[in-house]
Homo-oligomer: A and B are copies of this chain.
Amino acid sequence: MLVVMQSDATADQIAAVVGAIRAMGLTAHPMAGPTRTAIGITGNVVAVDPRTLEILPGVRELIRVTRPYKLASREMHPDDTIVRTPQTEIGAGGFTVIAGPCSVENETMLLRTAEYLVARGVKLLRGGAFKPRTSPYAFQGLGRKGLEILAKARRETGIGIVTEVLDTETAGAVEEVADVLQVGTRNMQNYSLLRRVGRAAKPVLLKRGMSATLEEWLMAAEYVLSEGNRQVVLCERGVRTFADHTRNTLDLSVIPPVKQQCHLPVVVDPSHGTGKAAYVMPMALAALAAGADGLMVEVHPEPAQAISDGAQSLDFGSFDRLMERLRRLGEALEREVG
């Protein structure tokens, strides 16, 4: 933390700021420059709210330095975290593909998709039973019936289940079925839900909020971690910007900073990121090349018949081509895809 004084701040004003810093139990380091004085602050800044220093007379601005996350920080935890499900692991060097329909529509379609994916070497199936929808009038998912279908697909094919937890009320039911609990974009700062999945015995896949900074995203992970659940996968799915050529702006450039600052694995969802099936393949390949730990992609036996997100879902033929190219690329990068 750094307090920048106005160029005409008096010695008394500087002394008052130094005093206020000390009163917070922190250490003040005044630095006189040619035009103004700045005052460095060291100590445990997180416990207090030093933003109030900004309203003291003579203060021009306050510059925050310390990143407030701890458990999510690579500085505190240098080794990569590997997230494990009974079927596979994420973050151990390979490139994990999570695939499936936007929502569980019916048993036939889901089983058909699960069998198809297992045959292609995919270990984790995505599919929503509880769906967050912008409109209250849109299909909200099959709910508990959808969970049963997911459980059946798991039993019959051995594939792992990644599915969304929408609220604390239904978290228990989802936890029974899922191998990975997905927290959606709109819930990235639903702290009650984060605490709830932080007490779950299953890994959590935490999607980045629509306009979350990297720090806010990692702080959301910190909520989960601080409750005891250390198995968290981050998922980049596009952020909101002025750009209108894709549904969202898939921010692949967040991957290197995530890797640098955090030890958790990170996967990419190019289906929501682009909103268009034709753009999924190039963005999936780019995610692998950029160093992501995996992919989350929408696949549907008949996209044109999908109840939701058909426009961004791959059909089986496209998914076959995607896997083939991912594997070729993976070989060049010495990373196993699947």
| Contact indicator B254/A54 (Cβ below 8 Å) | no
| In the complex, per-residue mask of A61-101: 1 if CB is within 8 Å of any chain B CB, else 0 | 01101001110000100000000000000000000000000
Q: A33-B42, A256-B278 provided; 9 other pairs, C-beta below 8 A? A: A20-B304, A46-B135, A52-B310, A135-B222, A136-B191, A211-B240, A246-B254, A288-B289, A328-B332
Whether B65 pairs with A311 at a CB distance below 8 angstroms is no
B192:A166 contact, CB within 8 angstroms: yes
**A13 at interface, CB cutoff 8 A:** no
**Contact of A2 with B63 at beta-carbon distance under 8 Å, contacts A46-B135, A55-B311, A136-B223 already known:** yes
Give the contact stretch, choosing among A109-117, A146-154, A155-163, A279-287: A279-287
B38 touches A40 (CB 8 A): yes
Q: Does A49 contact B (CB under 8 A)?
A: yes
Provide the bound-state CA to CA distance between A34 and B75, in Å. 14
Q: Spell out A's residues near B (CB within 8 Å).
A: 2, 4, 6-8, 20, 27, 29, 31-34, 38, 40, 42-44, 46-47, 49, 51-52, 54-56, 62-63, 65, 68-70, 75, 132-138, 166-169, 186-187, 189-193, 209-211, 213-214, 216, 219, 222-223, 226, 238-246, 249-257, 260, 273-274, 276-279, 282-283, 285-291, 303-311, 328-329, 331-333
Q: Which residues from chain B contact A311 at a C-beta distance below 8 Å?
A: 51-52, 54-55, 62
> Are the C-beta atoms of A253 and B242 separated by less than 8 Å?
no
Residues of B within 8 A of A278 (CB): 256, 260
Q: Which of B42, B169, B190, B287 contacts A38 (CB 8 A)?
A: B42
A237 to B190, CA, bound (A): 18
Give 27 pairs: A residue, B residue, CB < 8 Å, sorted on A.
A2-B38, A27-B31, A27-B33, A29-B29, A29-B31, A31-B42, A47-B137, A49-B309, A52-B310, A52-B311, A55-B277, A55-B310, A70-B137, A132-B191, A134-B219, A167-B192, A190-B190, A214-B243, A239-B249, A243-B251, A246-B253, A250-B252, A283-B290, A285-B289, A285-B290, A286-B287, A331-B332
